[in-house]
Amino acid sequence: MIEFLSKGGVLVVPILLCSVLALAIFAERLIHFTRLKSRGAGLAEKVVAQIRKGNDQGAYETAIQSRSPMGQVLSQALGVRHQDREILESVITHATDTEVRKLSSYTQALATIGNIAPLLGLLGTVIGMIKAFMVIQQMGGKVNAAVLAGGIWEAMLTTALGLAVALPTMVAHSYLISRIEKYEARLQEGAVAFLTAVADRK
């Protein structure tokens, strides 16, 4: 396999590095999301229940101890729960946006890898084709079909490799974005439940 890939030229190395980096990013985000799901499960309901009972301190401790995005949003909201509705909503919106940005860490890098991998492959193919035609020129145009075909398939190897890296990377990126959007929706639902509970007490 190593001998086969080596025929693709020097650009095989950065393409393989892209694949390793993409896999590492996807695995890290997947583990991170799995941990957050277990930490924040049912948190909004617990906090809202304590607010309705008038136990604001207990609600704050429950939120902050969860160490989850939902907990961060609700704990910041609890800190300004006695302020005007406009200020409260502004704090919740800012906290939600901050947590979503944290969740989106490295996803842009994954998209970038998905975009540059096929371009690296195409560049490798162009360089390989140039070398192949240079050989043809040096031989005075007297090249048999076997020599020409060999030069072409070696040149196109990097394009195939680049596409093989890009396709699963873009699928992984789309999957992570869908997870982030679902989490953002849950944050918004939790914020609405919190605002409703606060409003009912006034």
Are 148 and 132 within 8 A, CB to CB? yes
Q: DSSP letter at 163?
A: H
pLDDT surpasses 60 at 4: no
- Is 107 part of a structural domain of the chain? yes
The torsion region of residue 141 among left (phi > 0), alpha (psi -120 to 50) and beta comes to: left
Domain membership of residue 99 (yes or no) is: yes
Beta carbons within 10 angstroms of residue 137's beta carbon: 10
Question: Residue 141: which pLDDT band, with cuts at 50, 70 and 90?
Answer: low
CB 46 within 8 A of CB 63: no
Quote the pLDDT of residue 133. Answer: 76
Asked if residue 141 belongs to a domain, the reply is: yes
Give the mean pLDDT of the chain. 85
Assess if residue 3 is contained within a domain: no
Number of structural domains (the chain) is: 1
pLDDT digits (tens, 9 = 90+) for 52-88: 888 888 888 888 888 889 989 999 998 888 888 888 8
- Hey, is 106 helix, strand or coil? coil
First to last CA, the chain: 70
Query: Considering the domain boundaries, does residue 73 fall inside one?
Result: yes
Residue 79 DSSP class: H
Q: Identify which of 186, 193, 166 has the alpha carbon closest to the alpha carbon of residue 33.
A: 186
Residue 41, pLDDT score:
75
CB atoms within 10 A of CB 154: 20
Residue 97 counted as domain residue: yes
In contact, 46 and 40? CB cutoff 8 Å:
no
Q: What is the pLDDT of residues 152-185, one digit of tens each?
A: 777 788 889 999 999 999 999 999 999 999 999 9
Residue 91 has pLDDT above 60, yes or no: yes
Confidence of residue 24 (pLDDT cuts 50, 70, 90): very high
Identify whether 86 is part of a domain: yes
Domain containing 39 equals 12-201
- In a domain? residue 123: yes
| Confidence check: pLDDT of 189 > 80 | yes
Q: Which of 38, 112, 110 is nearest to 68 (CA)?
A: 38
Q: What is the DSSP letter of 68?
A: S
